[in-house]
Structure 1
Amino acid sequence: MMTKAQLVKLQGKLFAINLTWFELNSKKQLQHTTKLLKANYGVLSSSTIIDQDKLKQKKILVGLATKQLSACYSLASVIANKLKDGIFITDKISIANQQDQLYWLCIFKDKQPLAKVVLKDNTKTISVDGDQFLNLAQVKHLLDVYTKQYHTSIFIDLNNQHNLNIDSATDIVLDEILQSKLSSKYLIQKINRDYRIFILLSIIVIIGTTAIFFYKQHQQAIHKQLLAKQQQLIAFQKKAQPTTQEQIYKDIQINHLGMVLNSFNQFLTQLPVVIAGWNIHSVSYNSAEPDLLELIYQANFGMNILTAKNEATKLIALYPHQQASIEFSNNNQTMLIRLAFAKQDSQIDKLELNDLNQAISTEQGIATIADVQANFLEYNLGKIIAIDEKYSKQEISFNNINSLIFENLKALAQRHSNLIANVITITFDNNFNLGWSIKGNIYA
């Protein structure tokens, strides 16, 4: 129980959640410390009474999930990261109120779980979820169709291998995969039943020390010192850096994915794809300079540079910015234009600092990832970066975005305030068809 993760099902997907385990000696001690635990570690997740070596005294292990000491992983992502390519099948994950035997099946490639797998079943084409529960007949049928089209490795952790009878399958223990991936986050902490005495003694020491300090400083000179300290404090407060929450709030206000995509949509309707014979090649956005866009035009044979520069100057006049510029490179075959990028979104403009408590949380991060998995095929989840003890962010990228996927992505971003755009690049082919590449972050 202390060496493997707890599995939970959220929005149809399995997640492996690390818990911090606390050891107590009795139910009475648990009752006394419940408020303290909830105040410092969040909602009580589970509790189990364990009789160790049949002794009279029983131990209680209480598991709590915290943002500082715990982490959530998609179970499919954990399996994919460990096994790289193939199919994993297990019958050792049970679902409450489920009488029939179910198998959890995960399909993955290049260390990434596949949200949708397109297969040809006889004369029809079917789309299969690469992370789901299936009954025995469904598993057999899926394996039969999949292995006819793809050569892949099959990994199993089964109580009864005869039901499936898979040739050349590799036995893998799910618990060992979870332990190797997540066990570094497991902690056992003992709760001291006399913690209230410790707190009381600490308060007495603090009060006594403070009283002695003020007694020794009762002389008239202390007023000048206090005045100087007060002035220093005011000066320090003016120079104080914004809190992490304020920085995240500012990032959302400036770089929210939905706001950026909507602003792009408006900008592209007015963008000239040809300037004096120079064809548009790409448009780029970077959160490092969120109020600027970079446009690259490429010259056709025999085009005049002066004419192109004059037309580009007129375009910049429509989007003025202090750092706006026009540069030629690649033997005067490439023209780089930098101009202002105005963004506005009523939904994000109304977002207040206090709203972050609901918009940015571990649960909301999981919900956003689940929404992405349910609606998109070509995406990549990157590493999780801890911002501080409370907040983190995870890299995410989308590729090969057509017009339909673009509209779905805008709708997704409007549903989740924790999606941020970092780098967006739009490329144009010879027929001026758009291709999108988007990199961003999910705050949690």
Structure 2
Amino acid sequence: MEKATDEGVEEDAYFKKLVSLEYQGQVLRFRVAQALFSSFQVDLGTRLLLRSLADAGSEAFREILDLGCGYGPIGLALKKADERRVVHLVDRDALAVEYSRQNAALNQLSGVEVYGSLGYDDVPARDFDLIVSNIPGKAGERAIAHFLLDAMHWLKPDGLVAIVLVASLEPAVTGIFGQAPNVEVVFRKAGSGHVVLHYHFVDSGAAPAMPESAMERGVFDRMQTTVDFQGVRYLLRSAYNLPEFDSPGFRSTLLMEALQELCGSQFRRALVFNPGQGHVPVVLWRLLRPGRVRLVDRDLLSLRYSEANLILNECPGDAVTLSHQVGVGAKGGEQADLIAGVLREEEGPEGIWLTVAQAAEQLAPDGTILVAGSSTAATRLVKRLNAQKLLRVAERKRRRGNGLLVLRH
């Protein structure tokens, strides 16, 4: 992925446009990707939240955490307003992390820490003066409660949380706060279909013990079920905000059927990209038993649930490697003899091509790539593969507007 420079803005496979934001006399520019939230302009909720912090006077905030940072408008605007601040920006999406890093560089900001985290699970620092977040509306109530209430463990005793949410979510948030007597809301403002809340935690005696991680507590859990796929039975622990929570979709089904056709073949290293809840890697493991399974995805939630489901289905934990990253490129030149995954079509044709090209770079000479997507995406990919002769299309299948490609050198 290309980086932002001071002299201009370089495009990459995911880049859509440049947007600007004026805040407290400073103008910031942001690179945005089509596949990220609010790619047309900085959204109204973010602007409302930032305005509330400016009006409240935020001079005392020196250590700030931006939870679910997207491409970075909230955290970076607060940093630009006072460059003495140390700001941590975290997101479960590696593309958001990458674009936040680029936008910090584009706006010539140092003292910014940007990294992936599933909720607060991967945030090593404590004692923030301020935690800010644009609360996702489809995360599930337990996850939203985690974002709202677990903030106390990462705040200083007199720290503040400032959030924005869509107005339809306010009753659920009010209910969560109603069950937490140590929460005191000190500011509320509504506008443009959003609500901004500032709150802190009042002293309730002894400091509460640090909780287990959100994954360990099942904060993101939706259900656990048994799936029977053409005679292959497996357990599935599913998460909110990921598709295929009870059964595999058409594209995963195409991949899993193709894996069945490979039974009897030997594979040492398998790579599964965009694994979702984990249907494909679990069936791959149950059928083929490779020595190692590498899971690659932008989405840390998908990676952690796919790993958990592999282990739930008796795959040794030390046989599984997680790569939270943009694209599927490997470091160190490690090759895989089986690569399988569903295309992320919201990344556009260039993002899809980059995924396949990076997969080809790490495919063993006698290896196989299985990719599933819409019939339209598959057709475009076949045309480009034939034109550039990157890989050979060994087989193509179509079903109900979806397609599977079997690719080899």
Question: Shorter-normalised TM-score: what interval?
Answer: under 0.3
Higher relative contact order (CA 8 A, sep 6+): 1
TM-score normalised per structure 1? 0.21
Greater helix proportion? 1
Bigger radius of gyration among the two: 1
TM-score normalised per structure 2? 0.22
